[in-house]
């Protein structure tokens, strides 16, 4: 009863969402009457592991975008069989099915979870699912596959389409409903371009469910034009991975997607705390999952000792205020080893990332994300979103941000020493003995990220910027390794050196 009740509950909530989005919304009491018996019938005890639906949390995918897509998609059939790709496809398939039924199209749904390597997924239906597919095929249904994406490979959606074909469904009766139309040449799955082009697909495109005063689109790196000081080097960006953002209609606020509903709650609380501590531009809340930040009036200011102190204070504050109970660095260690070996053709022996100050890091410590207000206060941009999203590092030691400062600001040895001393003074945490490993992890991750982003780009200027970033990170790792070899030789020889206290940021 638990599974059946859970499916029924999802369907009731999807019906309510469709009704509330129409001209004749359901009364709250009616929804309550429908859902309470289902909730009471779900008998389960123990822990439930639920993955975060990335589209709802990170990519501004609104579930009702798929209802809009159904409205725009021409369907001549009177029956539909909907297949959702778990996990987010559970919600999307329920929304699509509810919308179809509201249009008097008989619809039913199932969900599947493709398995295997992310770039080469496979899908199989169980016996009951195959029987339902056969019945829908006999009734001349159209088969709709629902998922966000496609991702870098397209293999999850393709695996489901091909499984339907193996079950006897003609290609002409299969449609893929997704969030964007890919360039098949950029899909890295096996023979992905040819396979994708065999099927009809429809995409929601960017959501239209935006804050009421959303103005100019700031995606595609356009945010840099508004928020980064003139003449400052722009950071490279990966458009498929960036958060959706807009300028407000009056030009006074920056709107960035932080997560629908509960998925944006943690970012909202971090932004409030950062605003209270005066580390970021004023945060004034969320609308439609988008956080609103006042655009500060800034001046051009060079890096100096005061900024170095601010960076150290910020890291100490973050380690204290955004502390978590524990963090596992094993996946980060494995990622570093694999990427290091791939790029430098040598093993990282005895590599370990100690976790002594676990927290939600900033993970965007580049110079371009720091601006100076007219009052002379340094403010951090994009500070609340990246420490616990679906990319590395996830919750980890604050040494990740310390390493980010050292690498991104290209600190000299003397400047690095001053920075870490200032951090220790602010926090009481002596991070020197563990930060070197994090510098290697940070630079190696950033090197691989820049390479993957460049490979996905067609735009020449942006690709060149990303490839330059890749070379910068690679040079940093090479230089750091050379410095460590030099230090080891000096220590072995028993020599002593004088450290130049002048520094460069």
Output the domain CATH number for residue 417.
Answer: 3.90.1200
For residue 497, pLDDT beyond 50: no
pLDDT in tens, 213-239: 999 999 878 888 877 766 667 778 888
Number of Cβ within a 10 Å radius of residue 331: 12
Answer whether residue 429 is part of any domain: yes
Q: What is the C-alpha separation between 365 and 189, in angstroms, rounded? A: 33
By mean pLDDT, which of 39-48, 119-128, 234-243 is the weakest?
39-48
Helix, strand, coil percentages (3-state) for the chain, rounded to 5, are: 45, 15, 40
For residue 265, pLDDT beyond 60: yes
pLDDT at position 504: 30
User: Considering all CA atoms of the chain, what is the largest pairwise distance in Å, rounded to the nearest integer?
Assistant: 85
Same domain, 165 and 301: no
pLDDT at position 240: 79
Same domain, 66 and 88: yes
Range of the domain at 475: 214-493
pLDDT in tens, 398-446: 999 999 999 999 999 999 999 999 999 999 999 999 999 999 999 999 9
CB < 8 Å & 24+ apart, contacts of 374-380: 374/297, 374/298, 374/299, 376/301, 377/278, 378/301, 378/306, 378/307, 378/310, 379/279, 379/280, 379/281, 379/296, 380/274, 380/279, 380/280, 380/314
Q: What is the C-alpha separation between 3 and 465, in angstroms, rounded? A: 50
For residue 121, pLDDT beyond 70: yes
Residue 411: closest CA among 308, 498, 314: 308
Answer whether residue 18 is part of any domain: no
Same domain, 179 and 264: no
115 DSSP β-pair partners:
122
For residue 101, pLDDT beyond 60: yes
Answer whether residue 152 is part of any domain: yes
For residue 54, pLDDT beyond 80: yes
Same domain, 108 and 190: yes
The CATH number covering residue 89 comes to 3.40.50.2020
By mean pLDDT, which of 76-90, 130-144, 484-498 is the weakest?
484-498
Q: Do 183 and 150 contact (CB within 8 A), yes or no? A: no
pLDDT at position 229: 66
Q: What is the C-alpha separation between 5 and 7, in angstroms, rounded? A: 5
Single out the residue in 203, 232, 254 at which a domain terminates.
203
258 DSSP β-pair partners:
none
Question: Which tops the pLDDT comparison, 387 or 51?
Answer: 387
Answer whether residue 436 is part of any domain: yes
Same domain, 125 and 144: yes
Answer whether residue 501 is part of any domain: no
Q: Specify the number of domains making up the chain.
A: 2
Burial class (CB in 10 A: 0-12, 13-18, 19+), 225: exposed
For residue 41, pLDDT beyond 60: yes
Same domain, 419 and 463: yes
The beta-strand segments (E) located in 3-149 are 79-85, 106-112, 142-146
Same domain, 367 and 458: yes
Single out the residue in 173, 203, 233 at which a domain terminates.
203
pLDDT in tens, 3-25: 787 888 888 889 888 988 875 55
Same domain, 151 and 267: no
Mean predicted lDDT score pLDDT of the chain: 89
Single out the residue in 154, 174, 203 at which a domain terminates.
203
Answer whether residue 23 is part of any domain: no
Q: Do 257 and 263 contact (CB within 8 A), yes or no? A: no
For residue 68, pLDDT beyond 80: yes
Give mean pLDDT, residues 190-203: 95
Answer whether residue 7 is part of any domain: no
Same domain, 87 and 199: yes
Same domain, 178 and 70: yes
Answer whether residue 209 is part of any domain: no
Same domain, 135 and 176: yes
Per the listing, tokens 């410095």 go with 483
Same domain, 344 and 435: yes
**pTM of the complete model:** 0.87
């Amino acid at each position: 009863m638990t599974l059946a009740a859970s499916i029924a509950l999802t369907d009731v909530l999807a019906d309510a969402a469709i009704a509330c989005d129409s001209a004749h919304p359901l009364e709250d009491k009616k929804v309550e009457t429908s859902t309470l018996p289902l909730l009471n019938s779900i008998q389960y005890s123990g822990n439930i592991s639920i993955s975060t639906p990335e589209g709802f949390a990170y990519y501004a995918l609104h579930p009702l975008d798929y209802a809009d897509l159904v409205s725009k998609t021409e369907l001549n059939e009177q029956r539909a069989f909907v297949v959702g790709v778990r996990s987010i496809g559970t919600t999307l398939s329920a929304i699509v099915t509810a919308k179809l039924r509201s249009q008097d199209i008989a619809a039913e749904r199932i969900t599947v979870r493709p398995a295997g390597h992310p770039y080469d997924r496979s899908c199989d239906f169980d016996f009951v699912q195959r029987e339902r597919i056969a019945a829908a095929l006999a009734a001349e249904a159209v088969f709709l596959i629902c998922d966000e994406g496609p991702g870098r490979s397209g293999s999850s959606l393709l695996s489901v389409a091909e499984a339907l074909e193996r079950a006897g469904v003609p290609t002409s009766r299969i449609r893929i409903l997704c969030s964007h139309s890919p360039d098949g040449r950029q899909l890295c799955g096996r023979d992905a371009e040819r396979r994708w082009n065999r099927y009809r697909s429809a995409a929601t495109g960017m959501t239209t469910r935006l804050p009421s005063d959303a103005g100019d689109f700031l995606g595609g790196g356009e945010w840099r034009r508004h928020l980064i000081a003139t003449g400052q080097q722009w950071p490279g960006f990966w458009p498929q991975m960036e958060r959706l953002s807009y300028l407000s209609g009056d030009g006074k606020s920056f709107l960035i997607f932080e997560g629908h509903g509960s998925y944006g709650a943690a970012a909202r609380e971090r932004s409030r705390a950062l605003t209270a501590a005066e580390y970021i531009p004023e945060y004034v809340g969320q609308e439609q999952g988008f956080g609103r930040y006042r655009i500060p009036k800034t001046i051009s200011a060079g890096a100096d000792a005061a900024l170095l102190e601010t960076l150290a204070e910020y890291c100490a504050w973050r380690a204290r205020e955004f502390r978590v109970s524990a963090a596992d660095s094993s996946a980060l260690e494995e990622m570093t080893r694999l990427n290091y070996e791939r790029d430098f053709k040598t093993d990282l022996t005895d590599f370990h990332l100690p976790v002594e100050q676990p927290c939600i890091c900033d993970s965007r410590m580049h110079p371009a994300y720091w601006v100076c207000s007219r009052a002379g206060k340094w403010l951090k941009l994009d500070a609340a979103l990246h420490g616990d999203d679906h990319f590395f590092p996830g919750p980890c030691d604050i040494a990740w941000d310390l390493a980010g400062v050292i690498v991104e600001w290209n600190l000299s040895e003397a400047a690095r020493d001053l920075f870490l001393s200032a951090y220790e003074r602010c926090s009481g945490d002596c991070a020197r003995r563990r930060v070197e490993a994090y510098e290697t992890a940070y630079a190696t991750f950033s090197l691989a990220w820049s390479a993957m982003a460049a490979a996905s780009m067609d735009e020449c200027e942006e690709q060149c910027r990303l490839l330059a970033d890749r070379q910068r990170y690679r040079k940093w790792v090479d230089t750091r390794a050379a410095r460590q070899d030099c230090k080891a030789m000096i220590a072995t020889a028993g020599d002593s050196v004088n450290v130049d206290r002048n520094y460069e940021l």
